[in-house]
Copies of this chain bind each other. A is one copy, B any other.
C-alpha cells in the first residue's frame, strides 16, 4: 500500500474542516497532511488523529512535492492555486466553481461517473452541493428508465454559504427572539424566519448562478445535453442539509414500488419513504449521514412518466468534503 502527501487548501472553512475530519474517519493513506488557508487564518491549529496541525498561509510554493490537494477556498483561489499546483504535478480536487465546466476537467460524483476521473489533466472538479445529491439519486433512474426532464425547487441551508452565514442566521435569530434590531450582512435580506429565492448572483436569463449550476453540472455529469432541466434555488433558515423537491420525467414507466426498489439498490442512497408513519428525509437527519436521503416518492397525478421525489443531503459532507475525498480515493487507486 502506498501513502500520499496530501494538502487541504481552505482548511479552516466549514468544508475544509470537514475534509480533514473525513480523511481521518476514512483512514486515508497519508504520508503527510499539510493544511493551508489565507494569511488571516494561518497559525490556527486543527486536530487530526489526536495531533495538532498548524495551518499555514498558502503561497505559490506550498504544493511542492504534494501528491494530492483538496481545495475548498472559493473560485478565485481555486483557479490561481489550481493552475500552479497542477502544473507542478499535484493532482488537485477543487470544490469551487472555477473549473467545473472546463472541458479538460472531469466533474465527478464517484458513484455516478468515476470513469471520468481517468481523463483528468491534473485537476478534477467537485460538483456543487445541490448537484451531487441530485445526480446520486438520478443515476439509477437514468440508467434504468432514461430521464428526459427535471424541474427542481431547492431548500438550501446556510452552511452552504459558509461560517459567516451560519453565524448570521444565529445572530439574527437571537435578535428577533429578543425583539432587537439587526442588519443583514452576508445575505441581502433577513434569513432568520425567512426564505430567500436567491443563491449566488443572477445571470442574464434571470436564473441565479446556483440554478444554472444545477442545470449545467447535471448535464455534464450524466453526459447528456438533451435532458430538459430548470430549477429554482432557495435559501432556507436551516443550518446543515439541503433539500430538493424534484419532478422528473422518464422514458420508460415503472410502478412506485419498482422505483423504490431501484433507489434502494443505489450506492450512496438511502430511501426513507413511509409518509403515513412520518418517515421522510429531513435536513436535520443529514447531520451525521453520508448517504443522500430520498422519499416522498409519488407518481405525477396526470403525466404517466412523471415522478416526484424529495431528496435531502448533507451539503458539507457528501455535498462537498466527502465527495472530494471519495474522488481522491479513486485517484490513488490509479496512481
Measured CB to CB, the residues of A under 8 A from B are 149, 151, 153, 155, 170, 173-174, 177, 188-190, 193-198, 202, 205-208, 215, 228-230, 232, 234, 236-239, 243, 245, 247, 256, 275-276, 278, 280-284, 295-303, 306, 308, 310
Please, how many angstroms separate the alpha-carbon atoms of A197 and B298 in the complex? 13
Given contacts A230-B247, A275-B206, A308-B232, contact A238 B193 (CB under 8 A): yes
Leading 8 A-B pairs by shortest Cβ distance = A228-B302, A153-B153, A153-B245, A188-B278, A232-B245, A202-B275, A194-B284, A197-B310
Question: Does the CB pair A205–B237 fall under 8 Å?
Answer: no
Query: What is the chain B residue whose CB lies nearest that of A158?
Result: B193
User: Which of B193, B283, B301 is close to A229, meaning CB atoms less than 8 Å apart?
Assistant: B301
Question: Does the CB pair B275–A155 fall under 8 Å?
Answer: no
Given contacts A177-B170, A202-B275, A278-B189, contact A155 B234 (CB under 8 A): yes
Distance of A266 from chain B, by nearest CB (Å) = 20
User: Which of B149, B170, B301 is close to A228, meaning CB atoms less than 8 Å apart?
Assistant: B301
Given contacts A193-B284, A194-B284, A196-B282, contact A310 B232 (CB under 8 A): yes
Interface of A: prevailing SS? mixed
Please, how many angstroms separate the alpha-carbon atoms of A234 and B310 in the complex? 10
Question: Does the CB pair B195–A236 fall under 8 Å?
Answer: yes
Please, how many angstroms separate the alpha-carbon atoms of A281 and B195 in the complex? 10
Question: Does the CB pair B194–A282 fall under 8 Å?
Answer: yes
Question: Does the CB pair A207–B173 fall under 8 Å?
Answer: no
Please, how many angstroms separate the alpha-carbon atoms of A130 and B6 in the complex? 51
CB-CB < 8 A to A151: which residues of B?
Answer: 151, 247
Question: Does the CB pair A297–B229 fall under 8 Å?
Answer: no
- 24 contacting pairs across A/B (C-beta < 8 A): A151-B151, A153-B153, A153-B245, A170-B177, A189-B278, A189-B282, A189-B284, A190-B282, A194-B238, A197-B245, A197-B281, A202-B276, A205-B298, A205-B299, A206-B297, A206-B298, A207-B301, A215-B301, A229-B301, A229-B302, A230-B302, A232-B245, A232-B308, A237-B238
Query: What is the chain B residue whose CB lies nearest that of A284?
Result: B194
CB-CB < 8 A to A215: which residues of B?
Answer: 301
User: Which of B149, B237, B281, B282 is close to A237, meaning CB atoms less than 8 Å apart?
Assistant: B237
Please, how many angstroms separate the alpha-carbon atoms of A72 and B282 in the complex? 31
